Amino acid sequence: MDTILKFTSHHQGKDRVFRATQFACALSTYLLRTNTDRTKLLSTLKTLEANLNAGRKVFRLGNTINSIQAAKRSLQLSDRVLCLCLTAAHVNRALYFFCDNVLWAKSVGLIRDTNKVSWSTGASRCFLLTLIGSLARDIYVVLQLMVQRARDGHFRQKMIRHLNESPQVAEVIVPHLDAFLFLLLESLKSHPAVVLDTVKNFCDLFSPLDKLGIYPSNSGVVSLCGLVSSVIGIITYVNPSLSIKP
């Protein structure tokens, strides 16, 4: 198992760069789609995107086991909510990679009689469930941080000072919203890892939502969100302190 982990984590850095490049190509293709002078460039971008996509599928050929190992580790977490969210996310990720591997095998001709559409839909569903699990965990962590902050005496004084600074704000509803937002921003300021993970997962949502027809958007939006999430992925890889733990 450790051997397989060593192999799968080896190309993680390159994979994130390739993912970013893939989405940059997709976004450029979308932006240039009406430009008739750039047909050759468009064709090059599409070929590059297809090659990167195909190559990355090979990188992912051991990630099912990687995700199962991560799910086993998350079962041992003491916090029940975190344990549930992360285990569900990792199990769904393992299923997503399995579907992805089957799609790769079909694309190279190793498997013939498979329904590409159903496996692709299955992969999108598993990916969506993974993201829901990850976002649930992000929201739980944010709420925990807010509760912790609210209990802090120093922070309470800061809050009172902030609310008193703007007396023209309406007294009934907006002060509560103002206080909530202030608490949220103060809690997140000192935890950039949580912010990055939340933004990343939120951006990633658009792709499966579009593929499954739940929230159809255009390829431009999907590509842009994919690019943003890939760039965040690169940042967290380069700077591991910005990666959310566990």
Query: At residue 113, what are phi and psi to the nearest 5 degrees?
Result: -90, 65
Nearer to other proteins, 48 or 77 (CB): 48
- Mark residue 109 as left, alpha or beta (left: phi above 0; alpha: psi -120 to 50; beta: remaining): left
- What number of chain residues touch other proteins (CB under 8 A)? 21
Is 114 a binder of other proteins (CB under 8 A)? no
Nearer to other proteins, 58 or 147 (CB): 58
Nearer to other proteins, 43 or 115 (CB): 43
CB of residue 61 to other proteins, shortest distance in Å? 8
Cα angle 211, 214, 220; round to 5 = 50
Contact string 54-93 vs other proteins (x = CB under 8 A): xx--xx-x--------------------------------
Burial grade of 84 (CB within 10 A; 0-12, 13-18, 19 or more): middle
Dist CA 141 CA 83 (whole Å)? 12
Contact string 30-59 vs other proteins (x = CB under 8 A): -------------xx--xx--xx-xx--xx
Nearer to other proteins, 52 or 159 (CB): 52
Dist CA 74 CA 56 (whole Å)? 26
Using the rule CB under 8 A, give the single segment among 2-10, 77-85, 118-126, 147-155 that binds other proteins: 2-10
Nearer to other proteins, 4 or 77 (CB): 4
Q: Which residues bind other proteins (CB under 8 A)?
A: 3, 6-7, 10-11, 14, 18, 43-44, 47-48, 51-52, 54-55, 58-59, 61, 108-110
